[in-house]
Structure 1
Amino acid sequence: MKIAVMGAGAVGCYYGAMLARAGHDVTLIGRPNHVEAMNRDGLLLDFGTSQEYVAVTAASDAAAIAGAELVLFCVKSTDTQSAGEQIKPFISPDTIVLSLQNGVDNAERLGAVLGQPVIPVVVYVATSMGGAGHVKHHGRGELVFGPSSQSQLVADTLRPAGIPVEISENAPGALWAKMILNCAYNALSAIIQLPYGKLVEGDGVWDVMRNAVDECLAVAKADGVTVPGNVWEAIEKIAATMPAQFSSTAQDLARGKPSEIDYLNGYIVRKGRELGIPTPTNLTLFALTKLQEGKKAI
């Protein structure tokens, strides 16, 4: 299959590499320094215990998406509108578009820009960029997305590439479950610049996370969303299964980039105000992260 990845960051590069090594024709759209490295050497897929270069096509211009049958949309939530407008002229009504993004409303926002359905995807993977054209995999890699006429075709494409896929009847709930996990970890990891395993060793950290999660669940309930599974158990598991992982928010702040905090804890704060649900812990985490973002500008 001809596949394009819009947003060749850590998530986009990982799934693009997995699909390319399985034989698919993969084009990654990203920043010039990554594009140059990937076109020159290939995309370095680093599992820690092993490394391999994977042949891909890379470009900085969204026009390279033209002709793709499947698009993995992996840009930051802050860039959904602008990146959607960039790819719109180069996709057809038959193009399958997946939103592999944090937050709960990106697929809806992107679909409004493109004028066609977008499949929301929940991503559970620990990755980071080790340099230009170098993606590091730290753990997991499964995807959860909602049912559609195209979902089975996508699953049949991804699974043979070593990408676990679950098709869930409760896609909104699955998106909320992932966002709640991000609300528990991302801001704290960013503020203190520690990986999950070290973060949870701090005095009172589990209590802060529990308060944030309880607020998120209260907002979800008021919004009519059923969050599946045992959310707190999943949150405890993250520290054990991804102890060395820094949150994406922590990685953004370390590089001096804007984060997605407006679409995580910030989203909970806004939705809570709309529904009359107090969210003091999420507000604190949001405010502190925004202060960290603004330090270089002060």
Structure 2
Amino acid sequence: MRHAILGAGGVGLALGAALARGGHDVTLVMRESTRARYSGVIDVHSRLRGDHSVPVRAVGRLDEPVDVLWVTVKAPALEAALSRTGPGPLPGAVVPLLNGLDHPALLRERFGARQIVGAIRVEAERTGPGRVTWNSLFAEVSLAADADAPTVFGGVTAALADAGIGCTTEPDPAGVLWRKLVLLLPLALATTAADGPLGAVRRQPELAALLGGAAREACAVAAAEAVTVDEPDLLHTLGTLPGRTDTSLHRDVAAGVRPTELAALTEPVLRRARDHDLALPAITELARRAAERERHAEAPAPHRSTYSKGETS
């Protein structure tokens, strides 16, 4: 299969290298400023797969036919990134791996019924153009296989198997997004409010309580949206994750990278809570503290990936 990857950060580079090593034709779609510094080879440092280099070509604009377009940019960069696609033939399938809840609607407007909603769990850090450190001993993608899934859906799951990336399928796109968000949102807000990893949150009883409250509130909103989430399992996960666990939102805020994913993570949840007359005091307070950290952080740094060791992506 022919794959294009829109977004050459940690996730995009790790995925592109894995697909290429699995025998697939892969093209990175990069901003021209990044492409000018890219050597044409993805260099991977990985505890799981060992160090290796994979030739993968890059283009500044995708205007050729591909079977699958993987969208791995962060939510604030999505609209700008989409300007680097077309006006050539539409891809057979579009697989977004973004955080949040609102991006499927935008992609549906752009590509029609070609979308397979996805979520990825991996720890990967872009250390330079074409260079990625794959920190985790795992990589797993969840995909929504609903009635309107493109005909290449089976090929997408097979490609992930070729790449050595775990894949689970679900019938409901909303379920894929919510089951990641109920974990990521509390972690992202709490680590940003604490200005440190999960261990820093746990050392502050008030923040630790807000973390647990935010997780329960996120589950309540998901339930109101007819998505079943295992709340006890979520709380157990939050209680047993390593203290080094960090999030890209915290890293972006601390590094001065702007815009961050803060609005993309929080606003859709708050909006849906209002629709269902649900109060979210913990999420609201953590979001306030995270926004305050963002306002007082250093001036914006040059754009770079902030996926880091211990990060939940």
- Asked if TM exceeds 0.5, the reply is yes
Q: Is it true that 1:80 corresponds to 2:47 in the alignment?
A: no
Structure 1 length as normaliser, TM-score?
Answer: 0.87
Q: Is it true that 1:121 corresponds to 2:123 in the alignment?
A: no
Residue of structure 1 in register with 2:304 after alignment = none
Q: Is it true that 1:232 corresponds to 2:231 in the alignment?
A: no
Residue of structure 1 in register with 2:133 after alignment = 136
Distance 1:14 1:46 in 2: 10
Q: CA deviation at 1:126?
A: 1.3
Residue of structure 2 in register with 1:261 after alignment = 262
In the alignment, structure 1 segments of 5+ residues that lack a partner are none
CA shift digits 1:99-143 (9 cap, x unpaired): 111012322321112233311101111112223322111212100
Structure 2 length as normaliser, TM-score?
Answer: 0.84
1:39–1:297 Cα change, 3 Å = closer
Q: Is it true that 1:110 corresponds to 2:112 in the alignment?
A: no
Residue of structure 2 in register with 1:272 after alignment = 273
Distance 2:216 2:198 in 1: 20
Distance 1:48 1:130 in 2: 16
Check whether the contact 1:38–1:57 (CA below 8 A) recurs between aligned residues. no
Q: Is it true that 1:160 corresponds to 2:176 in the alignment?
A: no
The aligned length equals 291
Instruction: Output the amino acid matched with 1:176.
Output: W
Q: CA deviation at 1:88?
A: 4.2
In the alignment, structure 2 segments of 5+ residues that lack a partner are 301-313
Distance 1:45 1:297 in 2: 30
**What are the residue-to-residue correspondences of 1:28-107 with 2, within 5 Å?**
28-32=28-32, 34-40=34-40, 42-48=41-47, 50-59=50-59, 61-63=60-62, 66-92=64-90, 95-107=92-104
1:250–1:32 Cα change, 3 Å = farther
Q: CA deviation at 1:225?
A: 2.4
Identify, as 1 or 2, the structure richer in helix: 1
1:45–1:34 Cα change, 3 Å = farther
Check whether the contact 1:268–1:279 (CA below 8 A) recurs between aligned residues. no
Distance 1:35 1:86 in 2: 13
1:291–1:113 Cα change, 3 Å = farther
Distance 1:111 1:37 in 2: 32
Of structures 1 and 2, the one scoring higher in RCO (CA 8 A, sep 6+) is: 2
Q: CA deviation at 1:74?
A: 0.9
Check whether the contact 2:6–2:30 (CA below 8 A) recurs between aligned residues. yes
1:121–1:236 Cα change, 3 Å = farther
Q: CA deviation at 1:2?
A: 1.7
1:85–1:133 Cα change, 3 Å = closer
